[in-house]
């Protein structure tokens, strides 16, 4: 944690909600290696089979397919480096979005009037949005609908706790 973040945390007062949201990737790095090894064996087998039949250019196409598979997975893993940080304190509701290249965008809302919107029941295309004073922001686009509902409920609970806890009182 940098010095600036520590000072901001101290000046923010009580923290009612603080979460870092990461995109989910079901395939681990070791699983990726196993998948690529299996794909390489399969592509080589197919390529050599067709080469024995006289269709040797198929080996090149198998190589191109393997390369495309590798590149697509690398792009997928790269996009997983992005994340969002959502924090509710006495003073503000802050959202920090870090894209896969490391670029950072920050939004700050007045928490007193903050509203959390989510379709009920959630669908795949449903969005979780927060709004205050005419400003609106979508958060957690990469989450599953169930995870967005869970986050929306947690944010609503934290907002309720902030509104009902007396100033200077400890959040429970």
- pLDDT tens for 61-95 read 999 999 999 999 999 888 888 899 999 998 999 99
Assign domain 3-23+83-164 to its CATH architecture: Roll (2.30)
User: Which of 117 and 165 is assigned the larger pLDDT?
Assistant: 117
What average pLDDT does this structure show over 134-152?
A: 92
Give the whole-angstrom CA distance, residue 116 versus residue 136: 10
Are residues 118 and 126 in contact, defined by beta-carbon separation less than 8 angstroms? yes
User: What is the structure's pLDDT at 80?
Assistant: 84
User: Which of 171 and 28 is assigned the larger pLDDT?
Assistant: 28
**Residue 172 confidence class, pLDDT cut points 50, 70, 90:** low
Position 41 pLDDT exceeds 80: yes
**Residue 170 confidence class, pLDDT cut points 50, 70, 90:** low
Are residues 88 and 158 in contact, defined by beta-carbon separation less than 8 angstroms? yes
Which tokens in the block code for residue 115?
A: 């509203």
What average pLDDT does this structure show over 148-168?
A: 90
User: What is the structure's pLDDT at 123?
Assistant: 75
CB-based contacts of 141: which residues, under 8 Å, 6+ apart? Answer: 127
What is the secondary structure of 118-139 as a DSSP string? Answer: --SS--TT--EEEEETTEEEEE
Position 2 pLDDT exceeds 60: no
User: What is the structure's pLDDT at 10?
Assistant: 45
* Long-range contacts, stretch 129-137, CB < 8 angstroms, 24+ apart: 130/93, 130/95, 130/155, 132/93, 133/109, 135/107, 135/109, 137/95, 137/107, 137/109
Q: Which of 59, 33, 31 is nearest to 44 (CA)?
A: 59
According to DSSP H, which parts of the chain are helical? 3-12, 29-52, 57-79, 145-164
- Name the residue ranges covered by the structural domains of the chain: 3-23+83-164, 29-79
**Residue 121 confidence class, pLDDT cut points 50, 70, 90:** confident
What average pLDDT does this structure show over 135-164?
A: 92
């Amino acid at each position: 944690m940098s010095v600036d973040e520590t000072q901001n945390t101290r000046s923010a007062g009580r923290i009612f909600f603080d979460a870092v949201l990461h995109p989910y990737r079901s395939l681990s790095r070791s699983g990726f290696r196993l998948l690529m090894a299996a794909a390489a064996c399969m592509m080589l087998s197919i390529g050599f089979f067709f080469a024995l039949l006289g269709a040797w250019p198929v080996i090149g196409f198998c190589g191109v397919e393997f390369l495309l598979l590798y590149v697509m997975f690398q792009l997928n893993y790269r996009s997983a480096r992005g994340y969002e940080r959502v924090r509710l304190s006495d003073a503000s509701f802050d959202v920090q979005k870090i894209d896969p290249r490391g670029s950072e965008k920050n939004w700050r809302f007045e928490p007193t009037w903050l509203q959390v919107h989510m379709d009920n029941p959630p669908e795949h295309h449903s969005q979780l949005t927060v709004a205050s004073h005419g400003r609106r922001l979508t958060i957690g686009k990469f989450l599953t609908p169930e995870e967005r509902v869970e986050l929306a409920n947690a944010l609503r609970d934290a907002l309720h706790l902030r509104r009902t806890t007396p100033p200077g009182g400890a959040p429970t």
